[in-house]
Structure 1
C-alpha cells in the first residue's frame, strides 16, 4: 500500500483528534495504542458534542465498549451508550419503513434504489447500529414522480415544500421531501443525484448495476458497489466532509474492497477523479486508510490536494458553528485550537464560499458565481431602495455583503 503526503491539519481541536484515535484503534484490549498526551486537558463536553456533530459516536462507542477505559469519565461512556442505543432503535425503525416502502412501490410498478438508510449501513459496516441516518433517500425514474407522491400521501406522508410535479419545472431541482408526523420519518425522493446540468448515469444504468440488500426479507435494492462509492465521494465532497461519518464510510469501503483503479470504470466518464483524490487524502490521514498503489497517483493531483486542504478548514469550521450553539466554555476551548476560529464572519464566509467554488465543475462554477452575484432579501433589508433603483442591488451586492459580515464580527 502506498503512502500519502499529509496535509496540515494541526488546527484540529484535540478533542476531535482523540475521537479519531479511538476509532482507529486496532488493539481492542487496551488504550496502549493511544498516547496519553491525547487525554490531557480534554474538554469532555466538547468531545461529546463533536462526536454527535460528526455522527461518529456509534463507532466511538463500539470501540470503547470492548476495552477497559480508565482515562475517560464514566458519564462520557454512559452518554455515548445512550446515544448508541437510541440510534440502534432509530435504524431498526427505519429498516421497517424501508421494507414497507419498497414493497409498496414495487407492487405499484415503481422501481426504487435506496441512497441512504439501514441498507447502506448494513452494506458498508455489516451492522446497522454503527452508522446513523435521520431519513430515507430513494432514487426513482422521473416518470414515476406523480404516482410515488400519491402513494406516500395515501400512507400519511405530507410533502415538505412544493410538489415534485411543480419542482421539476424549476431548473436545477432534483429532489423533494415528505414527512410522516406520527412515524417521525422523512423520505426524500430523488429523480437525479445532482442538480442539472451535472452529468450522471441514467436511472436505467443505475438499475442495471443494482444490488439487493441482505438486511430485509422483502427485496430492497441499493446501488452497485462502484455507483455507491462514487455517490458517497461526491456527496461528501459537496458538503465539505463537514460530518466525518462520510469519510468513515469511504474508509470502510476501501478496507473491504481494496479498491484499485479498475474498480470504477465510471471515473473518467463522469470526471470525479479529483474528488476521489481528495477523499483518499483525507481518509488516509484521518482514518489511516490503506491506499492501493494503483490509485495513489490520484492523491498527487494538485487540485485534489488543494481541495483536501480546504476541506480541513471547512469541516473544522462547521464543527465550530455546531458547538457555537452550546456552552461558552466549550466554544472558548475550541477557539484555542482553531486558527480560523473565525474572528470575523467575513473570513468564515470567504472560506466557505472558496471551498464551495473550488469543488465544482466549470459549468457549476459559473452558476455559483451568478447566484452569488444575484441580490437576495438580505440585501434589501440592509439597504432599502425604491423599486425604480432595484438594478443597483447588483453592483452594490459585494459591498452589502461586506457590510453585513463585518457588522457581525
Structure 2
C-alpha cells in the first residue's frame, strides 16, 4: 500500500507484533528464529494469551511445531498443540452437524447457506483444522424461520429466548440462537447477513451465486467468493476487527483470488467501499497481504485509513466484545463506520419502537399492542421516574 496508508503500531505490545510477524512468515525455519531474537524478552504467557484471544493459535502452531525448543520454549509449543488438538475435534463435530442440518433443511424444502464454520475453513485454508469456530451460522429465507425452528426443536435444540413484542426482532436483530445440550453445539439462524439498516443482497441473489462444498458427503451450500469476501469484511468491520482471525480470513481469501469486476459492482450497489478499504489497509499493513491495483485506487481513502487506525486500538487489548461495546471509543468507531444518514439515525428511530419493557410496565391485550407506539414515551418516562425514586429512597 502507499506510504500515506501506514498505520501507527508503536503502542501495541511486542508480543502482538511477534504474533503478526509469525502469521505472515512463509519460511518459518529461517525467519522465526530471527524474529524471536529481534523481539527480545518476550512474555510467552502473554504471547499465548494473545494467540488464544485472537483465535489464531491453529495457524501459529502449524508454523512453530517443527522449530527447535531453543527458539520457542517447549511449554509454548505444547500448549499450542493441546489447543490445536481440541480445535480439530471441535471442527469435526461442527462438520458432522453441518452435514446433518443441511440434509434436514434440504429434505424439508428450506434453502440454506452456511456462512462460517468448517465450510469456509476448508475453502479458505484448505484445512478445517487451521481455523476455529465456536458455532454454526446459517442463512435462510425469513419466511422459513418458523418451519426451521420446529425442525430444530424436534431434533433436540433449545432456543435462547429473547422476549419481543410487535415483531421487534425483525428490526433489532438479524439472527436467532439455538443450542443443542447433548451435542454441545450452538447454531445461529440468520435471516439477514448484517443487522439493519446495512444494505445487502437478497437471499435469492446469494443463492444464485452459491457454491457447493466438497468436504461432506451430503451437499452443503455456502456463499460465492465475492459475497463471502464482502460478508467477512462487513462482519469484521462491525466487530472492530478485535480478533485477528477475521483479518487472516481476508488475507487467505484474497490469496485465493476474487473477481474484482464483480466485487466492484457489489461495492457500488451496497455502498460499503469505506469498510473494504479499511480491511485492505489492515491486511496489507499487518499481514503484508498483496493488494492488487484493481482494489487500491477507489477504496483506499482517508476515511478507510482512519477506520483502520481506530481498529488497531481494539486489537491490542484482550477484551471481550461485550466490554468493548461499553467504551466511548467503540461508540465513536461505530458512528464513523456508518455510511448513510439512515444508518446514523436508525438507532434513534429504534428508540420509538416498543420493547418488552413497555409490555412489562403496562400489560395490554395482544389485539391492541399497537397502542404501545403512542404510549412508549410515557412508559419510558414512568420507568425512569420510578427508578430515580427508588434510588433516592435508598
Same fold (TM over 0.5): yes
Q: 2:62 aligns to what SS in structure 1?
A: helix
Match of 2:304 in 1: 304
Q: Aligned residue for 2:343? A: 364
Matched with 1:401 is none
Report matched runs for 1:76-225 at 5 Å: 76-162=76-162, 170-225=170-225
CA shift in 2, pair 1:393/1:116, >3 Å: same
Task: Give yes or no for contact 2:272–2:339 (8 Å, CA) kept in 1.
Answer: no
Kindly report which structure 2 residues correspond to 1:7-26, keeping only aligned pairs within 5 A, or say none.
7-26=7-26
* Corresponding residue for residue 285 of structure 1: 285
Task: Give distance in 1, aligned partners of 2:380 and 2:155.
Answer: 50
1:40-51 → structure 2 map (5 Å cutoff): 40-51=40-51
Q: What SS does structure 1 have at the residue aligned with 2:171?
A: coil
In structure 2, relative to structure 1, the CA distance for the partners of 1:171 and 1:294 (3 Å cut) is: closer
SS at match of 2:124: helix
Extract unaligned runs of 5+ from structure 2: 358-377, 389-394
Partner of 1:63: 63
Matched, 1:315 2:315: yes
Question: Does the 8 A contact of 2:226 with 2:263 survive in 1?
Answer: yes
CA distance in 1, matches of 2:4, 2:137: 34
Distance in 1 of aligned mates of 2:104 and 2:246: 30
Q: Secondary structure at the match of 1:230?
A: helix
Q: Cα gap change, 1:47/1:33 in structure 2, threshold over 3 Å: closer, same or farther?
A: closer
Structure 1 SS opposite 2:30: coil
Shift in Å, 1:117: 0.9
**1:352 CA drift (Å):** 1.4
Counterpart Cα distance in 2 of 1:96 and 1:372: 42
On the 8 A contact 1:30/1:69 being kept in 2, the answer is no
CA 1:350 to 1:164, structure 2 compared with 1: closer, same or farther past 3 Å?
A: closer
- Hey, what's the Cα distance between the residues in 1 that align with 2:148 and 2:383? 44
Q: Any conservation in 1 of the 2:105–2:111 contact (CA below 8 Å)?
A: yes
Q: Does 1:351 align with 2:297?
A: no
Supply the distance in 1 between the matched residues of 2:316 and 2:291 (Cα, whole angstroms).
24
Contact 2:12 2:316 in 1 (8 A): yes
Measure how far apart 1:278 and its partner are.
Answer: 0.1
Q: Structure 1 unaligned segments of length 5 or more: list them.
A: 326-344, 378-386, 398-409
What does the per-residue CA deviation read over 1:346-379, in whole Å, with 9 as the maximum and x for residues that have no partner? Answer: 9x822111111111233222234667999x99xx
Provide the rounded CA distance (Å) in 2 between the counterparts of 1:130 and 1:311: 24
Residues 161-181 of structure 1 deviation map (CA, whole Å, 9 limit, x = unaligned): 148997565522221010000
- Partner Cα distance (2:245, 2:69) in 1: 23
Distance of 1:10 and 1:127 partners within structure 2: 34
Deviation at 1:300, TM superposition (A): 3.3
Change in 2 beyond 3 A, CA 1:192/1:163: farther
Q: How far has the Cα of 1:31 moved from its partner? A: 3.4
1:261, distance to aligned residue in structure 2 (A): 4.9
**1:370 & 1:168 partners in 2: Cα distance?**
12
TM-score normalized with structure 1 length: 0.81
SS of residue in 2 equivalent to 1:197: coil
| Structure 1 residues 371 and 184: CA distance shift in structure 2, 3 A | same
Distance 1:47 1:322, change over 3 A: farther
> Structure 1 residues 100, 36: CA separation in 2 closer, same or farther (over 3 Å shift)?
closer
Q: 1:263 to 1:3 in 2, by over 3 A?
A: farther
State the secondary structure of the residue aligned to 1:31: helix
Paired residues, number: 362
RMSD of the alignment, in Å? 3.1
Secondary structure at 1:355 match in 2: helix
